[in-house]
């Protein structure tokens, strides 16, 4: 998510007064230190990002980062040039100047504040300005923020005193480095530009000014903003004084406190009033703490939670940004009774809630939007999420838990103390968390054809997610991917609904038993079936979202195709007890219904009619990211249309206030019924009760030590190994021997980011050493192989027994990765050159690391072996396991591998079907490969048909597997349409449990191979 930071230039050279000297000078006689330049915009600071020093842009999506330039202006307030830029931001965007991470931070403590020249446009918009303090570098430090308003025209010097900056609790490190604006280790600045308007700007001469006001270099904080306490107990509020640079106090600080009667608790009845004064004398050490005690009183009545604000008046230091409040816990009410059935607890709670509280429960905000964490209680928010890459700093399990606990604490200040439900996209392991176990993406799991293993990957993911305090996972994706040009193709288990359904064991891995009894365990999470429905069928060229070509487009199907292909996996998910369902961004056009394309977020016939009523789904429906904003009409239309369609909770990351308010207004106006609201809230609360959040809202970190553990990585390693699909193996070049001298090359041999793909640490993912794991090259070395590596194959190639060239894609996600949106299915020129070089010099194996098939037909003649490695995750050892024969190759293609892009879309069951490799194809290196001919196939057919009659699934699968391997051996490299079509149909029949039909199709392929 957001990359705000700040910093002073390290290359100002003689134009910049040495900062350490500036501090010394301020105390040595000069009452006001000279201004110190931070950024003159004359070209002394480049456009660059960390770890180098420079100015860089950032934003919520590809369109949000502003454009920047250094422009010569005759009216420049200082020097010859100014920084100019233009912007059109829908989410968030701005720019940062970061100090070089490998050089010392700067000391700003001698100065009163920072100032800049701004060329006003009189927009009336607030411009947030942020500085970073402490920590390791500009991207791992505390963020402190203030703002100014562009309500003038022409150049104006804006002064921002350091006393006006407040700590951003939504930006981590959680708990802060010390939550004190020390100013002695500063890393730069960032500026956020207005959202929702198209504009341009100019600024100049960022500098430090004035002399620090010593009496304002001290601040008073409390250890929390909310203090829940059981009725009759005493709340202890810790008050701490701290100073810039951690120096002792120069003068006394006093804190007068009094309980404020403006809360909902009644003095004398609910609590004993408390008044007093705390004194921190001159010389008091920074970090000294005093405690204020607030005693609550016990009575006999059942009550909702009541608040007691504590007013603090500070002299000699800066007061806390927010007054703390004691909360007397709700008690004695039926919804709190754990002995009652959940449905009765839910009914009782819903009956007590106000319209605004109900609207809040239906609202989900992004953690990055919580610049005012008190909004959680003010708007009674029901949920927060971390979008892709929205993480605490440091990105550790403990930091995640503390962050989420801090948000949960805020929810305790609401009337009924309804806990938040926090969600993340853990789509192949806890992929937002550095050091987590990253599984193969779903397309790789589909290649394993191993439902039990898929369930185990879900178990590992759930355990690691829940151990960081997150109880909700936006996974699994149950799309049936019908076009490999789709940027989300790797999120699908495959192109056949039966394959997708077979892998839904991952739901039990995540949630446990279908009745929800396991959800309150510390190793289970609520799962989400997405994206309902038919997002895998969108037509190429139908998207209207930015530069996307297929993602968020239109799926046009007959009703029977919709039922058979796209809806059936969701019926299976409902039967498995899936807790939440997310509609697709895409539109559905059902042939013959006369409606044309309709956005799924608006389809009441599908969400309410099919999912909830016909399928019997009893969980809740959560929108996709700002999904309702893609509906026609104004904001009110978006809200009422989606909620009336059956949406129960809206993911409105940065517009949570607007959504909650508009929903309340729509109910008042009668355009959304109270019954619809009560149904939605009841569904949400039911899952919160099932998760045990009312009794245990805070993180249970007892499982944190198992995150990224050897046991968890063993599961990922097995999944990586079983996902490898051996497409070609001429002359038995695989498996390799540890005694062979192996020449390794290619862009993806030693790149952990490339082999984990998108949705890894960040939304789009990135190349490089981004997390903890083992690359394929490292795995081969760990296997004991005699390996030499040359990424571009430029090293001498003589003297080797075999070459391994690892090629493929770089990371992407969603529509950004659509073919035609700057992407194609061709290998890069560098990868092709590496293949040509290595395969011309020795026997060679080519591994394709990618989220979808790549076009390799022109290279097949050069290669001895070809492997579809998919996106195997962090455990490259698993790939090495099959390369060196520790495990046999057993993977099968989850999608059809095309010969050319002109064939797309191509899927099993098509009338015309002549792929490079058919659906289900996958050679093996098992020591036992079946022998025989038609006689053997006839015997296997009899076994398979008997299995059909008696429901003997294991015997049926075994018979089909034997037949498949026999037929593959017969076909060899002579794949034709006559052999590929029945071969693929056989695998589809196997997945549907039609064993006799599968062997018959394989027999037909066998016969065609002999002609």
**Residues identified as active-site:** 624, 814
Query: Token digits for 599?
Result: 């956005």
Distance CA 901, CA 114 (A): 56
Distance CA 963, CA 647 (A): 47
Are 924 and 993 a contacting pair, CB within 8 Å?
A: no
Distance CA 854, CA 917 (A): 12
Are 615 and 606 a contacting pair, CB within 8 Å?
A: no
Query: Token digits for 918?
Result: 């058919």
Query: Token digits for 979?
Result: 């052999």
Are 97 and 189 a contacting pair, CB within 8 Å?
A: yes
Distance CA 391, CA 604 (A): 35
Half-sphere exposure of 441 (CA within 13 A, CB side): 29
| Alpha helix segments (H runs only) across 4-76 | 19-26
- Identify the three-state secondary structure at position 184: coil
Cis amide linkage into residue 394, ω under 30° from 0 = yes
Are 220 and 287 a contacting pair, CB within 8 Å?
A: no
Distance CA 3, CA 138 (A): 10
Dihedral sign (CA 557, 561, 563, 565): negative
Query: Token digits for 459?
Result: 């178990």
Pairing of strands 253-259, 306-315: antiparallel
Are 396 and 464 a contacting pair, CB within 8 Å?
A: no
Distance CA 936, CA 913 (A): 27
DSSP-derived secondary structure letter, 491? G
Query: Token digits for 442?
Result: 């779903």
Query: Token digits for 633?
Result: 């009409």
Terminal C-alpha separation, the chain? 58
Distance CA 492, CA 704 (A): 29
Closest CA to 660 of 969, 361, 260: 361
Distance CA 271, CA 401 (A): 32
Map tokens 């690391």 to a residue. Answer: 849
Query: Token digits for 323?
Result: 């007054």
Element (H, E) at 223: none
Distance CA 926, CA 961 (A): 12
Classify 18 in phi/psi space as left (phi over 0), alpha (psi -120 to 50) or beta.
beta
- In 535-665, where do the E strands start and end? 554-557, 580-583, 587-590, 598-599, 620-621, 650-651
**Max CA distance (Å), the chain:** 103
Cis amide linkage into residue 323, ω under 30° from 0 = no
* Dihedral of the alpha carbons of 591, 592, 598, 600, in degrees to the nearest 10: -60
Map tokens 């002359």 to a residue. Answer: 731
Distance CA 492, CA 893 (A): 13
Cis amide linkage into residue 57, ω under 30° from 0 = no
Closest CA to 557 of 535, 590, 585, 534: 590
Neighbours of 515 (CB within 10 A): 10
């Amino acid at each position: 998510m957001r990359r705000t930071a700040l910093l002073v230039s390290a290359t100002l050279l003689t134009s910049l007064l040495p900062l350490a000297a500036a501090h010394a000078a301020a105390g040595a006689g000069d009452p006001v230190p000279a201004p110190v330049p931070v950024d003159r915009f004359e070209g002394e600071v480049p456009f660059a990002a960390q770890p180098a020093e420079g100015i860089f842009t950032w934003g919520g999506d590809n369109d949000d980062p502003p454009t920047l330039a250094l422009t010569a202006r005759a009216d420049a307030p200082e020097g010859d040039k100014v920084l100019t830029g233009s912007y059109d931001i829908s989410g968030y965007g701005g720019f940062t100047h970061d100090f070089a991470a490998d050089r010392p931070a700067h000391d700003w403590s001698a100065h009163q504040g920072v100032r800049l020249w701004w060329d006003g446009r009189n927009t009336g918009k607030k411009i947030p300005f942020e500085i970073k303090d402490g920590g390791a570098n500009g991207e791992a430090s505390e963020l402190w923020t203030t703002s100014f308003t562009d309500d003038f025209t022409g150049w104006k010097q804006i002064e921002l005193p350091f006393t006006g900056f407040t700590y951003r609790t939504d930006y981590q490190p959680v708990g802060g480095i010390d939550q004190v604006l020390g100013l002695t280790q500063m890393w730069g600045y960032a500026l956020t530009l207005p959202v929702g308007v198209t504009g341009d700007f100019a600024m100049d001469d960022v500098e430090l000014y004035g002399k620090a006001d010593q009496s304002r270099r001290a601040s008073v904080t409390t250890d929390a903003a909310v203090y829940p306490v059981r009725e009759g107990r005493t709340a202890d509020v810790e008050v701490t004084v701290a100073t810039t640079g951690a120096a002792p106090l120069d003068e006394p600080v006093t804190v007068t406190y009094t309980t404020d009667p403006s809360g909902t608790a009644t003095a004398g009845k609910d609590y004993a009033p408390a008044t007093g004064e705390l004194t921190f004398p001159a010389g008091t050490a920074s970090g000294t703490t005093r405690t204020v005690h607030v005693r609550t009183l016990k009575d006999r009545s059942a009550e909702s939670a009541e608040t007691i604000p504590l007013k603090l008046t500070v002299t000699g230091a800066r007061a806390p940004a927010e007054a703390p409040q004691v909360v007397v816990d709700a008690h004695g009410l039926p919804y709190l009774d754990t002995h009652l059935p959940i449905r009765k607890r839910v009914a009782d709670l819903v009956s007590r809630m106000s319209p605004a509280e109900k609207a809040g429960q239906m609202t989900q905000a992004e953690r990055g939007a919580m610049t005012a964490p008190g909004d959680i209680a003010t708007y009674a928010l029901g949920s927060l999420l971390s979008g892709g890459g929205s993480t605490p700093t440091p990105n550790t399990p403990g930091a995640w838990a503390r962050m989420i606990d801090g948000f949960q604490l805020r929810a305790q200040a609401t009337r009924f103390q309804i806990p938040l439900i926090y969600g993340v996209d853990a789509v192949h392991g806890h992929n937002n968390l550095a050091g987590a176990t990253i599984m193969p993406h779903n397309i790789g799991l589909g290649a394993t054809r191993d439902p039990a293993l898929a369930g185990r990957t879900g178990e590992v993911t759930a355990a690691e997610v829940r151990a960081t305090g997150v109880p909700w996972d936006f996974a699994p994706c149950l799309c049936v991917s019908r076009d490999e040009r789709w940027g989300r193709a790797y999120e699908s288990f495959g192109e056949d609904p039966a394959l997708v359904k077979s892998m839904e064991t991952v739901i039990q891995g995540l949630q446990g038993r279908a009745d929800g009894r396991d959800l309150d365990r510390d190793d289970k999470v609520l799962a989400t079936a997405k994206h309902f429905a038919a997002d895998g069928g969108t037509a190429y060229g139908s998207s209207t979202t930015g530069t996307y070509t297929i993602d968020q487009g239109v799926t046009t199907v007959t009703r029977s195709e919709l039922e058979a292909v796209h809806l059936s996996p969701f019926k299976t998910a409902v039967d498995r007890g899936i807790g939440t369902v997310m509609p697709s961004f895409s539109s559905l056009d059902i042939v013959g219904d006369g409606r044309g394309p309709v956005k799924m977020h608006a389809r009441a016939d599908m969400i309410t009619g099919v999912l909830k009523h016909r399928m019997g789904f009893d969980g809740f429906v959560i929108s996709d990211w700002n999904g309702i904003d893609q509906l026609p009409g104004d904001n009110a239309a978006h809200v009422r249309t989606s909620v009336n369609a059956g949406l129960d909770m809206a993911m409105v990351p940065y517009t949570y206030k607007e959504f909650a308010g508009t929903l309340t207004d729509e109910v008042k106006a009668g355009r959304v019924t109270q019954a619809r609201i009560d149904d939605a809230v009841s569904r949400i609360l039911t899952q919160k009760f099932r998760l045990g959040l009312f009794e245990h809202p805070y993180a249970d970190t007892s499982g944190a030590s198992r995150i990224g553990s050897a046991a968890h990585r063993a599961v990922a390693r097995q999944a990586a190994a079983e996902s490898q699909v051996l497409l070609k193996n001429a002359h038995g070049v695989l498996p390799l021997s540890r005694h062979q001298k192996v020449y390794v090359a290619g862009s993806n041999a030693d790149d952990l980011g490339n082999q984990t793909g998108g949705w890894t640490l960040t939304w789009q993912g990135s190349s490089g050493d981004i997390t903890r794991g083992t690359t394929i090259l490292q795995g081969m070395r760990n296997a004991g192989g005699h390996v030499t590596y040359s990424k571009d194959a430029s090293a001498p190639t003589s003297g080797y027994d075999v070459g391994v060239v690892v090629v493929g894609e770089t990371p992407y996600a969603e529509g950004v990765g659509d073919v035609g949106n700057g992407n194609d299915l061709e290998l890069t020129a560098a990868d092709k050159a590496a293949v040509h070089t290595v395969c011309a010099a020795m026997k060679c194996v080519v591994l394709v690391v990618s989220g979808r098939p790549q076009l390799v037909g022109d290279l097949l003649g050069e290669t001895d072996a070809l492997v579809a490695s998919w996106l195997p995750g962090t455990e490259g050892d698993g790939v090495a396991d099959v390369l060196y024969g520790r495990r046999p190759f057993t993977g099968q293609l989850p999608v059809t591998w095309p010969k050319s892009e002109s064939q797309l879309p191509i899927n099993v069951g098509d009338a015309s079907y002549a792929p490079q490799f058919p659906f289900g194809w996958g050679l093996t290196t098992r020591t036992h490969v079946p022998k025989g001919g038609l006689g053997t196939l006839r015997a296997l057919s009899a076994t398979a048909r008997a299995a059909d009659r008696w429901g003997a699934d294991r015997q049926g699968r075994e018979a089909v597997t034997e037949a498949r391997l026999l037929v593959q051996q017969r076909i060899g490299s002579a794949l034709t349409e006559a052999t590929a079509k029945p071969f693929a149909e056989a695998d589809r029949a196997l997945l549907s449990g039609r064993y006799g039909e599968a062997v018959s199709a394989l027999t037909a392929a066998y016969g065609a191979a002999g002609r």
